[in-house]
Amino acid sequence: MSQTVIFHIDVNSAFLSWEAVYRLHHLGGTLDLRTIPSAVGGDMSKRHGIILAKSIPAKKYNVQTGEPVTDAMRKCPNLVLVPPNYELYEKSSKACMNILHKYTDKVEQYSIDEAFMDMTGTEELFGTPVIVANAIKDEIYEALGFSVNIGVSSNKLLAKMASDFKKPNRVHTLFPWEIQEKMWHLPVRELFFVGGASERKLQTLGIKTIGELANADVNVLKTVLKKHGEVIWDFANGRDVSVVEAVPADNKGYGNSTTIAFDVTDGGTAKMVLLSLAETVARRLRKDEARIEVVSISIRFNDLSYVSHQTVLVSPTNITKEIHEAACRLFDELWDGTPIRHLGVHTGRVSRDGNNRQLSLFDHTDYEKLEKLDYAVDSIRERFGRDAIVRASFLKQDKVDHMNGGVSREKRTVDYSNEKVM
């Protein structure tokens, strides 16, 4: 039997790299953003002002992904900031995944810029794991213009750890017999699944490196970190039984949220935002032929405090109107008048076994008609674009996008006529 061989592919500084390649090869740019302190960042005026990706030179200034743009500019005043363009990222990601599928049909897209490949048994087709990993890395660079790191191992955890070694444009191996030499000396924070809270608890036990975690008493770890302690102890010892899933698992919940560009101070506007979120959530449900029984909403106020609430519906649904009405009932129970900056609609208890609606003598709503109407609207938007049909209630105001949540409209594309392309 062939030894299991798993690759983890990670695009180097993905958003920034894809933007740099597009500017160089399609917009006539001459300056490669990857070679200077630069970053992709949101629009501060719309409260999306965080760093989404940064170049390797920007790391020297300690610019961090996820930090406010204002903090990044304070660290690096000459930072070149470019706006996000998710349509470009999606196209670039798809092109990368197409190349991976040339080598195996067992590809699991882990995120927009990461994927796992099960390359077990392909040695006679393509050569040894390191040879084929380098071939994939080079093909991506030559065909698409951006670089990737590829980690090679016998399981997903170690392959992912290996891809995080020295960057960019590298192939690294991390097989079980290499763990002690290559991984155990690293800070425990660099182990997958170890966050800041876990790191602090481990440090109280005197554990600062992955090796110290691997050699710790697992019973002590379980006492301090519960089940999570055993999981990261296994990871520190290179143990992982998860498999590459070429077919994505069914969603266990659907949701969307949005940070609003202004403080919402009236219930009517808030409910319009909830409707725009219900539109996108319900559309995803219908696309997957799924229904939900639990609806929840979340509210973040302008003082950054947070509340949430949920309700169980009488019958499973994927109808926009039902989800919105449930969200509005929850909102009325939660809201105390404090100005709102962020709203979310989330769902749970997903089923895919058809329409099992419970009939009621007192409910005369024609749910079948509502569902058919929603599917018709979906079809029009799929064919002609999301703005091809808009609810009349949204025509009365221009503050709320009629389909909100996920990637906001201003992040989906960029008008490069307004951009200075160097």
Full 3-state SS string of the chain: CCCCCEEEEEECCHHHHHHHHHHHHHCCCCCCHHHCCEEEECCHHHCCCEEEEECHHHHCCCCCCCCEHHHHHHHCCCCEEECCCHHHHHHHHHHHHHHHCCCCCCEEEEECCEEEEECCCCHHHHCCHHHHHHHHHHHHHHHHCCCEEEEEECCHHHHHHHHCCCCCCCEEECCHHHHHHHCCCCEHHHCCCCCHHHHHHHHHCCCCEHHHHHCCCHHHHHHHHCHHHHHHHHHHCCCCCCCCCCCCCCCCCCEEEEEEEEEECCHHHHHHHHHHHHHHHHHHHHHCCCEEEEEEEEEEECCCCEEEEEEEEEEEECCHHHHHHHHHHHHHHHCCCCCEEEEEEEEEEEECCCCCCCCCCCCCCCHHHHHHHHHHHHHHHHHHCCCCCCCHHHHCCCCCCCCCCCCCHHHHCCCHHHCCCC
Which residue among the candidates 114, 279, 322, 371 is catalytic per the annotation? 114
Q: Would residue 114 show up in a list of annotated catalytic residues for this protein?
A: yes
User: Which residues are tagged catalytic?
Assistant: 114
